[in-house]
Structure 1
Amino acid sequence: MANPSSATADVCAICLSDLGRGQTLITAECSHVFHLRCISENVSHGRRDCPLCKATWRDVPVVEPAGPYADDEPIAEPGVQQHQAQPAVEAGTTVTLKTHCERPAVPRAASRDGFAVLVRATAPGATAEDAEAPAPRAPLDLVTVLDVSGSMDGNKLDLVKQAMGFVVDNLGPADRLSVVSFSNDAQREIRLTRMSADGKEAAKRAVEALVAGGGTNIRKGLDVAAQVLAARRYTNAVTSVILLSDGKDNCNNRGVNLMPPSLRGGHGAGAATVHTFGFGTDHDAAAMHAIAEATRGTFSYIVNHEVVQDSFAQCIGGLLSVAMQAARLDVACAHPGVRVREVKSGLYENHVDADGRAASVQVGDLYADEVRRFLFFVDVPASDEAAAEEEEVTNKLLTVRCTYTDAATARVVDVAGEDAVVRRPVELLDGDDQPSVEVERERVRVAAAEDMAAAREAAERGDREGALHRLRVGHAAVLECAIGYAAYGGDEDDEDECLDELEQDMDEMQSFMVDEEAYEEEGRARLLSGVRSHQMQRASFQGGKATRKSSFQTKAMKSMVTLSAKSRRKQQPEESSSAPAKRRRKHK
């Protein structure tokens, strides 16, 4: 028998097999890592010491009983090709980091407090659809939690079944899917199954067999989903939950937290995100938003029932193109007198060192081609460099780095980005004081998201006039910035339509502040979904308008939504429409 002490850090010291991706691991108190199944057997035989260092464990690793869901199908062997329309992440590429200073120059003798520096991170892009050998993408473990209460009976459930069929068709053979349904109670309809040809057939049969009836127990549905994930013997690189409901939880006491503890707060590589979908106008928007918020998921709401498939398509378009996991952005002050004062990072946690010399943002996961923009406000001192008046002087303000896990390869990547640099002339010349349109646009976007959030809080207090005021102020600022952006032009590589979307969003949100009925029917969901999308800088499906596109949509998302729309047109007669009539509202 081989000597366990000779095992490397990449090998389980008990079975001497690789500690590869896809198997559940456990870290003992001595910091050595083993397969969960191996340490379970050791502990069951009374062994309390580490096979590697022989340290006696004070706290014996406790392994909970696997329960009824420890029957997940083994993950695919490395090299299994993902045959679906989704493009993979381009091989050999890394995150791109660019910086923009609010102005290109600061007078040599002047100082600036709160000088804005925009850092833009762009995830590696997807390979072209006609590429000869697309790179492998990260496989997905997906649990869909579907409401089958009585209110889902009829056309709504039929449309959800159709949407699930589209999801199944577009998962690859290395992806795994489990389906959970809930009404008064919840049950797993199919184990976590690889989407091979046989797996897809089994998943479709399980979905087609769903029958509506009973109440709405969202907590029970999520409990079962959490148990399915917790009991996994194997794990794929990406884990996510999709929750769809058309009503309010009426099986638990009011105020009960609908999120199981095991699903809350996981932000590292492999943590499960819960993406929620409010179906129709009777769902609990506040609860669905809170569930998504707890796991860095998105909240979408669907008024037009016919486009539920498109909303699922957009979501899986992102999930099937995860490029980066556990990403962290780090900036450091390059000039000795520069200090970071504040960071605007939306919903992403940031930290500024006590001395202001460094700051970081926990970015999490990014889809292929996805962009994140963050504003760093720094204090810039007067330049003390001795130089002739005509000599060019520049100050390097910040250095930028990003570390993350490559989702497809599990490789840790560390990338240095573009430094933030300003010129320091003795006097400003023409153009030296021209504000950066990229920085100004991001200022306006951040302020608009804050205005939306404040408007929602005011509306919840019953202060619709106050809500309207905040939205009008934000709307005016967006319009002013859009005019400036068009006049001076932005980054030529930046094709997003963020300002147009903001203008439409804030205009539409005002229409839901006309009366309480309008706000309760759709306004709350519209604001919650819109605010979350802008603060996350990630696309969500809002309002169910088939032609509405989010500026945060990635190429992979757009491709999947286009595929879904084509699929729907083939399956549905033109006259079919279950969209509720929407009355026009005017706002002052």
Structure 2
Amino acid sequence: MASLWRKAKLALCYSVPRSMVDDDRFPQLSERVSHVSLLSQPNDAASAWMSRSSSRKRDFETCSICLATMKPGEGHAIFTAECSHSFHFHCITSKVKQGNQICPVCRAKWKEIPSESPDLDPRGGRSRVFPADIPMQNNAMMTVVRRLPSSPRNSSRHVIPLFHAAEPAVFDDDEPLGRTEASQKVNSDANGNLAKIIGIRAYPEFSSVPRTKYCNEFTVLINLKAAVTNTTQKSGEDQGLQSVSRMPRTPVDLVTVLDISGSMAGTKLALLKRAMGFVIHNMSSNDRLSVVTFSSTARRLFPLCRMSESGRQQALLAVNSLVANGGTNIAEGLRKGAKVMEERREKNPVASLILLSDGQDTYTVNGSGGNQIAPIDQLLLPLSIQDSKRSGLQIPVHTFGFGADHDSFLMHSISENSGGTFSFIETEGAIQDAFAQCIGGLLSVVVQEVLVEIECIHPSSYIQSVKAGGYSSQMMGNGRLGVIDIGDLYADEERDFLVQLNLPIESSGNHTSLLKVKCFFKDALTKESFAMEGEEVIIGRPDSSTGQEEGSILVDRQRNRLRAAEAMSLARAAAENGSLGDAISVLENCREMLVRTISAKSQDRLCVSLDAELKEMQERMASRHVYEASGRAYVLSGLSSHSWQRATARGDSTDSSSLIQAYQTPSMVEMLNRSQATLMSSPGQRLVRPGWQLNALKPR
């Protein structure tokens, strides 16, 4: 037996091709191999040798890094390492340029490594980048590796990947827009109203008021709802994507500004890559994406590119190549993201920025050129984004605060000043769901530049106030006319506004005409402008009261929403001033008030959600430590959601019992369900070996 082990050790010193073993001219080699095969309990070295021997033919035919073939005559330089494993020269140089001297296959340490200029490609074709964070191969949920088709080869000229190319001085290198699908026809009802695009309804607080009664603050609810999505299946190359917008929809320009500072290393970065992979796969070939990353400085990985098959490949390769290090320069990342939008040659109708960070901005420089942190209001947004509505660009920035250490006040301020939403991602695993909910809305915009005009009809009436949240509103004509600037609406999205006006005494007649509502908007797909008028708001004016009329539940529930939002704002102000006890009392008083309303007594779902949200905020103000770790971000995300009446991710899941679900649209829910389905279908705790790829990112 000792003799057999001695011969096995001698055999392990060689790398023997199978052709030599089977050749009769090398009997001694054949004998050595046969001795090894007779060992009943081989040691680890023998197992490793036999594994390498059995896969040697595959190793020489396929590069273990890019998985492409390595056949002679294809114009690819091949590097064979000391351990006998071979790779494309450009693949292995991109891996070892960071100082890595370990074989990706057998983990042997090399004494000699290949080297070349990082910007050169010896094969004269597109380079491939080895996915970052591959050491995290023990968990499939953390892996964003995906098999990609071989890129087209062009030996006549050298092509540098977009995310390796130097940044131009002007970002006017965006890819031309694709062909938009045939414009859908606008459907009108029998009265000529554009019912299929947007709907307008008005609900008075009371249906009748005695004619001799004067009301100083009579409330009317104005409700807008965008069109219902079509479910017609798309055809062509995007059919397999099962896009939420299955009807011809408005293409989107999206710029993601991502934090890759040192604090994002490890699991956070892997989950961010996975979330970005989900976004990339769910954009259509007419949508364009650009990725900007920032740490100590900011860099544009690639210009706005259409998410065609080749565009997705480039985007996935760029995202998979990310490495986390350095500080956190949020302002520089945001400026570069805005620059991509500002300087693009062509524009898709819908444009938006997504900003994610897990830390505090530490690199913003003040006007004197020093290294001190600038005041918060100087850090917020480039002027072009702040003034986007006046310039007609309307580019909202949707911000995502990641973890307990991010600057929630800054992220909330950026979103509020741009017309975007702020989401709080408390746990690492919720980042993909948060992105999914956001793009579920962005990919379903149906109307743009929405303006609501409210005009008093009765000569003695005037508008006292318009409760519009974060939306811009103004009064004109001595209160006879009010205008609300809404902007874009997603499919199936609703907006509710409370208008308070005086109700005069009616000297004659049995009714009073109070208001008429008009809506001006642009169809996002056809770019046609429309104006439509809702029905007049008319209430009965009997001679005397027939009994105490119960107010409208619809008006009451919206009044409760505004009261809850006001309580959140007051509680936050108290907490920031150091009085958590007062903050908790404000929230408790609001909860007690909600219980006594008619909508609460009728078990209205919105009222129940508001109570649950206020209770959650109370718990997150239990101590200063808890408030600073999660309470502040949770409250700010709630305020953002109420301000724009749009869903935000909050806490550790987008399925929490807070108000999130009240603002979710069907397209958001569908995209969120798809995200959760991909996570559930991903195998967990499975060893990922070189050459074995996961398809977890590919939509089912």
TM-score, with structure 1 as normaliser: 0.80
Unaligned runs of 5+ in 1: 1-65, 82-87, 388-392, 491-496, 577-588
Alignment partners' CA distance in 2, 1:119 and 1:543 = 31
Q: Secondary structure at the match of 1:115?
A: strand
The equivalences for 1:306-385 within 5 A come to: 306-385=429-508
Residue 265 of structure 1 is matched in structure 2 by 387
Residue 549 of structure 2 is matched in structure 1 by 433
Alignment partners' CA distance in 2, 1:474 and 1:249 = 35
Residue 476 of structure 1 is matched in structure 2 by 592
Contact 1:277 1:301 in 2 (8 A): yes
Q: Select 2:177's aligned residue among 71, 75, 91.
A: 75
Q: Secondary structure at the match of 1:414?
A: strand
Residue 522 of structure 2 is matched in structure 1 by 405
Residue 290 of structure 2 is matched in structure 1 by 178
Q: Which amino acid aligns with 1:408?
A: L
Alignment partners' CA distance in 2, 1:265 and 1:526 = 28
Alignment partners' CA distance in 2, 1:270 and 1:127 = 27
How far the C-alpha of 1:230 sits from its partner, in A, is 1.5
Q: Select 1:277's aligned residue among 385, 394, 400.
A: 400
Q: Please report the RMSD computed on the Cα atoms of aligned residues, expressed in angstroms.
A: 2.3
Contact 1:98 1:417 in 2 (8 A): yes
Q: Select 1:140's aligned residue among 240, 247, 252.
A: 252
Alignment partners' CA distance in 1, 2:234 and 2:299 = 42
Unaligned runs of 5+ in 2: 1-167, 189-195, 236-244, 365-371, 688-700
Instruction: Work out whether 1:247 is the aligned partner of 2:247.
Output: no
Residue 140 of structure 2 is matched in structure 1 by none
Choose 1 or 2 for highest CA Rg: 2
Alignment partners' CA distance in 2, 1:90 and 1:547 = 35
Alignment partners' CA distance in 2, 1:187 and 1:529 = 28
Residue 38 of structure 1 is matched in structure 2 by none
Contact 1:104 1:434 in 2 (8 A): no
Instruction: Work out whether 1:524 is the aligned partner of 2:632.
Output: yes
How far the C-alpha of 1:571 sits from its partner, in A, is 2.3
Instruction: Work out whether 1:127 is the aligned partner of 2:254.
Output: no
Counting aligned pairs with the same residue, the percent is: 38
Residue 54 of structure 2 is matched in structure 1 by none
Contact 2:222 2:498 in 1 (8 A): yes
Contact 2:197 2:447 in 1 (8 A): no
Alignment partners' CA distance in 1, 2:608 and 2:176 = 46
Check 1:523–1:129 CA distance in 2 against 1; reply closer, same or farther (3 A cut).
farther
Contact 1:272 1:295 in 2 (8 A): yes
Contact 2:455 2:481 in 1 (8 A): yes
Residue-by-residue CA offset, 1:286-343 (whole Å, 9 max, x unaligned): 1101111110000001112111000000000010011121111111111122211111
Alignment partners' CA distance in 2, 1:125 and 1:574 = 41
Residue-by-residue CA offset, 1:216-236 (whole Å, 9 max, x unaligned): 011111111111112201000
Q: Select 2:325's aligned residue among 213, 218, 239.
A: 213
Give the count of matched residue pairs: 491
Residue 51 of structure 1 is matched in structure 2 by none
Alignment partners' CA distance in 2, 1:166 and 1:314 = 11
Instruction: Work out whether 1:291 is the aligned partner of 2:403.
Output: no
Alignment partners' CA distance in 2, 1:288 and 1:174 = 30
Check 1:575–1:424 CA distance in 2 against 1; reply closer, same or farther (3 A cut).
farther
Residue-by-residue CA offset, 1:482-512 (whole Å, 9 max, x unaligned): xx3265587xxxxxx4222211110000112
Q: Select 1:421's aligned residue among 510, 515, 538.
A: 538
Alignment partners' CA distance in 2, 1:67 and 1:397 = 57
Residue-by-residue CA offset, 1:381-430 (whole Å, 9 max, x unaligned): 11122x5xxxxx22111000110111111111111113211100111224
Instruction: Work out whether 1:570 is the aligned partner of 2:681.
Output: yes
Residue-by-residue CA offset, 1:35-85 (whole Å, 9 max, x unaligned): xxxxxxxxxxxxxxxxxxxxxxxxxxxxxxx8342110000123289xxxx
Q: Secondary structure at the match of 2:174?
A: coil
Check 1:397–1:67 CA distance in 2 against 1; reply closer, same or farther (3 A cut).
same
Alignment partners' CA distance in 1, 2:630 and 2:268 = 18
Alignment partners' CA distance in 1, 2:603 and 2:209 = 22
Alignment partners' CA distance in 2, 1:460 and 1:487 = 34
How far the C-alpha of 1:111 sits from its partner, in A, is 1.3
The equivalences for 1:165-204 within 5 A come to: 165-204=277-316
Check 1:488–1:152 CA distance in 2 against 1; reply closer, same or farther (3 A cut).
closer
Contact 2:331 2:380 in 1 (8 A): yes
How far the C-alpha of 1:556 sits from its partner, in A, is 0.5
Check 1:358–1:526 CA distance in 2 against 1; reply closer, same or farther (3 A cut).
same
After TM superposition, the structure 1 stretch with the greater mean CA deviation from structure 2, 507-516 or 256-265, is: 256-265
Contact 2:232 2:247 in 1 (8 A): no
Residue 160 of structure 2 is matched in structure 1 by none
How far the C-alpha of 1:360 sits from its partner, in A, is 1.3
How far the C-alpha of 1:478 sits from its partner, in A, is 2.5
Residue-by-residue CA offset, 1:223-269 (whole Å, 9 max, x unaligned): 11111112201000001000111111111233241422222132365
Alignment partners' CA distance in 2, 1:211 and 1:427 = 75
How far the C-alpha of 1:134 sits from its partner, in A, is 5.5
Contact 1:69 1:227 in 2 (8 A): yes
Check 1:354–1:439 CA distance in 2 against 1; reply closer, same or farther (3 A cut).
same
Residue 466 of structure 1 is matched in structure 2 by 582
Q: Secondary structure at the match of 2:662?
A: coil
Check 1:485–1:572 CA distance in 2 against 1; reply closer, same or farther (3 A cut).
farther
Q: Which amino acid aligns with 2:628?
A: E
Q: Secondary structure at the match of 1:442?
A: helix
Alignment partners' CA distance in 1, 2:200 and 2:578 = 43
Q: Which amino acid aligns with 2:480?
A: R
